[in-house]
Amino acid sequence: MNAKMSFLAAVKATAGFAAALPADAQQAIRIGTSSVGSNFYTQAVGVGEVVNKKAGINTSVQAVGGSAATVRGLGAGKIEFGMANSFAAVTGYKGTYSFKKSGAVKNRLVVQGGANHRAIVFTKGKGVNGPKDLEGKTFIGKRRPLPELALITDAMYKVYGVDPSKVKTVGTTNTGQAIKNLVVGSVAGAAVPLGRKAGNIQKPFSDGAFTFFHPTKAKRDEMLKLLPPLIFGRTFDTDSFTGLKEEVHVFAMNTLFLTAAGTSDDTVYKVTKAIIENTALMKTYHPELANWTAANSLKNVQLPFHNGAIKYYKEIGLWTPALEATQTRLLQ
């Protein structure tokens, strides 16, 4: 059994043990992330193994369902760390958008990674060549744990002149369900989270289940004007997926690794150190983990850092007066 497979087995074996520990014990930590097989889940498994190997902390990966669910899970004490996109993390901290009713969740930042992405795909054989063709059909365009999908779908309808009342816009609880519906042809398309070369997207794409929607950059940017500034544009080149014939202009958010405000400083310091100092090992589990660096972590900061993380960034000489001022402002 190789290291990655043994770690996955350990994840399953230790999940109950970690869940049974009080939050302040910290002999084990639970890492919340998206559904099994997703881009975020694969990354979380890699992070967990690196933390286990380099910090000596037992970890278990919890598939909580998406970024908003991760933010809420941290606030409720169900997990100690979690991966979330910046839209969910920041709106959760501010208590806006999908957190208006439930209230703000004052989590803390540990590390920032690269971008994570959203795209529109259309089911083959449904006669959909563009958004307008969705009228009279069913489209997966929302998901409670990923509220940005509904915003992207609404922006697409507006920019392309789609009458929302003529589209049956439905939701799923995870990406696996969305992909299954695309594969069996029960829907005409979907807004999906994805990463470059993500296996859960690559296989059905290679099998001909769906095609990517290719908006022009101008149209994608027109959609972006209708979206919160936390959502920005990126472009997938043809190397992003095997068989992709032309680039795809997609939507993106930053990837954040968060912790609950009450997690011990010592634990957060050890986790931060293990991640930042082992990028080469991290990226062997997922190429996106190469972006989990100190440089990325300390730019465009929109959430306050945990004190344990600050201790590490000070130790390596990267915590500046400007960052201290940002920290003070965000905590007000």
Residue 120, φ and ψ in degrees, nearest 5: -105, 135
User: What DSSP character marks residue 246?
Assistant: S
Query: In Å, how far are 164, 191, 264 from 188, measured between CA atoms?
Result: 14, 11, 47
Give mean pLDDT, residues 199-227.
Answer: 96
Other C-beta atoms within 10 Å of 244: how many? 18
At 14 the pLDDT is 36
- For residues 169 and 191, give the distance between their C-alpha atoms in angstroms, rounded to a whole number: 11
The pTM of the full predicted model, rounded to 2 decimals, is 0.85
Report the length, in residues, of the chain: 332
Q: Which residues pair with 118 in a beta bridge?
A: 193, 251
Other C-beta atoms within 10 Å of 322: how many? 10
- For residues 184 and 61, give the distance between their C-alpha atoms in angstroms, rounded to a whole number: 30
At 12 the pLDDT is 40
> Is residue 168 within 8 Å of 138, Cβ to Cβ?
yes
In the chain the domains, ranked by start, together with CATH numbers, are 3-116+254-331 (3.40.190.10), 117-253 (3.40.190.10)
Instruction: Measure CA of the first residue to CA of the last residue in the chain; give whole Å.
Output: 50
Q: Which residue has the higher pLDDT, 286 or 137?
A: 137
> Residue 37's pLDDT band (boundaries 50, 70, 90)?
confident
Residue 151 burial by Cβ neighbours in a 10 Å radius (0-12, 13-18, 19+) = buried
- Flag whether pLDDT at 316 surpasses 50: yes
Per DSSP bridges, beta strands 189-194 and 232-236 are unpaired
At 197 the pLDDT is 82
pLDDT in tens, 15-30: 433 333 334 444 689 9
